[in-house]
Amino acid sequence: MGELGDALRELVDAAVRTEVPEAELEAAAVLARELAARLRASARGLHEIARVDDPETGERWYSPVYGPGSPVAPPLVASDTPDGRATGRVTVGKPHEGPPGLVHGGVVATLLDHVLARALRAAGRGGLTATLTVRYRRPVHLGVPLLLTAEMGETDGRRTTAHARLVAEDSPEVVLAEAEGLFIALRAERAADVFSATGRTVGAWTSRS
Ligand SMILES: CCCCCCCC(=O)SCCNC(=O)CCNC(=O)[C@H](O)C(C)(C)COP(=O)(O)OP(=O)(O)OC[C@H]1O[C@@H](n2cnc3c(N)ncnc32)[C@H](O)[C@@H]1OP(=O)(O)O
């Protein structure tokens, strides 16, 4: 899955950078459709969770942020510790470009959202993002190794706050973007309803208390 993910990310990168002639684009489109048909020979439904995923921990192979198998993930390489901290490392390429040469602002928000959620989940405070505030302080360039750090803040019932920042690995003193988030754990009965179509128990986004 990871190997296919790597190959497809190379393909996505090539697809958004190519300047080959139109006939070559048409030939590539035929090949891409053939490949899609081959993969669809056995595929899961829209709400089904991948057999390799663990919905209790929340780790997902096809996450659009960090999933090793996802062609659209940058992908972020993230880790966390049980004291409510998370880090992420990523170098963002052309598929996630916003203004020329810069990372798209929505992608910056996505990366920050992920490390925020991961920090509190690591401390056993899983939840869904209720609010996300991002301050974009400096342009974030493509092709630059980036470091994200997040830390859990206050907890109050099902609510948990966290804050995060984004820097370039080679200039950690310059904050490129920072974020605060409020995360709310779903009540067990609400989670059962929201995730019923998956047919699985989904602990990572639910209050465990
Ligand atoms: C490891 C990484 C995992 C990946 C994580 C990825 C993060 C995501 O992308 S999550 C997806 C995006 N987010 C969503 O889809 C959330 C959609 N929203 C919802 O489902 C609901 O609004 C939800 C769950 C946030 C709150 O609903 P519900 O559980 O019914 O809360 P509710 O009972 O109304 O409120 C609980 C408390 O939170 C407060 N609250 C609710 N929403 C907000 C809000 N947006 N801002 C401030 N406070 C809020 C309420 O005032 C209430 O406070 P109190 O207990 O003091 O009265």
Q: How confident is the model at residue 188 (pLDDT cuts 50, 70, 90)?
A: confident
Residue 208 clears pLDDT 60, i.e. is over it: no
19, 102: one domain: no
Q: In 10 A of CB 69, how many CB atoms?
A: 21
Q: Looking at residue 207, what is its pLDDT?
A: 63
Answer whether residue 71 is part of any domain.
no
On whether residue 176 sits in a domain, the answer given is: yes
Question: What pLDDT digit, counting tens, does each position of 50-83 carry?
Answer: 989 987 888 899 999 999 999 999 999 999 999 9
From residue 58, alpha-carbon distances to 62, 69, 72, 186, 204 in Å are 11, 15, 19, 14, 5
The pLDDT, as a whole number, for residue 209 is 43
Q: Which token pair is 152? A: 């859990």
CA distance 143 to 90: 9
One domain for residues 88 and 157: yes
Same domain, 34 and 84: no
Whether 83 and 7 share a structural domain: no
CA of 164 to the centre of ligand 1 (A): 19
Indicate whether 161 pLDDT > 80: yes
* Helix (H) or strand (E) segment spanning residue 12: helix 2-17
Model confidence at 144, pLDDT cuts 50, 70, 90, reads very high
Q: Is residue 102 domain-shared with residue 150, that is, in the same domain?
A: yes
Q: Whose CA is nearest to atom 48 of ligand 1?
A: 130
Domain CATH for 176: 3.10.129.10
Place of tokens 């049980």: 82
Q: What is the mean pLDDT of the chain?
A: 94
Vertex 118 angle, CA 90 and 143, to 5°: 10
- Tell me if 174 is assigned to some domain: yes
14 band by pLDDT with thresholds 50, 70 and 90: very high
**Predicted TM-score (pTM) above 0.95:** no
In a domain, 56, yes or no: no
Query: Residue 135 forms beta bridges with which residues?
Result: 178
Cα 132 to ligand 1 centre (Å): 11
The answer to whether position 58 is within a domain reads no
> Residue 20 burial by CB count (10 A; 0-12/13-18/19+): exposed, middle or buried?
exposed
Residue bearing the CA closest to ligand 1, atom 41: 130
Q: Output phi, psi for 162, to 5 deg.
A: -155, 155
Q: Look at residue 54 and tell me if it is in a domain.
A: no
What does the block give as tokens for 10? Answer: 């190379």
Same domain, 35 and 82: no
Contacts of residue 59, Cβ cutoff 8 Å, sequence gap at least 6: 53
Residues in the ligand 1 pocket, defined by CB under 6 Å: 58, 113-114, 117-118, 121, 128-131, 157-159, 182, 184, 186-187, 190
Same domain as 35, residue 82: no
pLDDT 10s digits, 72-127: 999 999 999 999 999 999 999 999 999 999 999 999 999 999 999 999 999 999 89
Any domain includes 187 = yes
Mean pLDDT of 28-38: 98
Provide the residue range defining the domain that includes 18. 2-39
As a whole number of Å, the CA-based R_g of the chain is 19
Instruction: Identify whether residues 15 and 85 lie together within a single domain.
Output: no
199-207 average pLDDT score: 74
Q: Find the helix or strand (DSSP H, E) in which 119 lies.
A: helix 105-122
Burial 131-158 (b: 16+ CB within 10 A, else e): ebebeeeeebebeeebbbbbbbbeeeeb
**CA of residue 114 to ligand 1 center, whole Å:** 16
Assess whether pLDDT exceeds 80 at residue 148. yes
Residue 51 lies in a domain: no
6 lies in the same domain as 91: no
Residues 96 and 163 in one domain: yes
Q: Which atom of ligand 1 is nearest to the CA of 183?
A: 25
Ligand 1: which of 56, 87, 128, 160 to mutate, judged by most atoms within 8 Å of the beta carbon?
128
Residues in the chain: 209
Q: Specify the number of domains making up the chain.
A: 2
